[in-house]
Amino acid sequence: MNTGASSKRSPVLFFELVYAISIPFWVLNTIFPIKLPVDNLPVTDIAATFTPMVAASILVPGRGI
């Protein structure tokens, strides 16, 4: 069994990476609290929505065509 591939696919690593990518958005929201008029939604929340996709893209190796 290939233990190197299974260690890269760890759910713990995924959640740690999502957390690490989300921290700058939380800091920016604290420094610049800009909210959208619709539902009083912070602008940084829109960008933070894509952090799980970015983390998954980093952890899953791309396949060539």
Average pLDDT of the segment spanning 27-46: 84
Q: CA 15, CA 55: separation in Å to the nearest integer?
A: 8
* 51 pLDDT above the threshold of 90: yes
Phi, psi of 48 (to 5 degrees): -70, -20
Q: 20 or 6: which carries more pLDDT confidence? A: 20
- Per DSSP, the three-state class of 42 is strand
Residue 42 burial (10 A CB sphere; 0-12, 13-18, 19+): middle
pLDDT for residue 22: 92
* 40 pLDDT above the threshold of 60: yes
**Does residue 56 contact residue 13 with C-beta atoms inside 8 Å?**
no
Structure tokens at 59: 């952890």
pLDDT for residue 29: 86
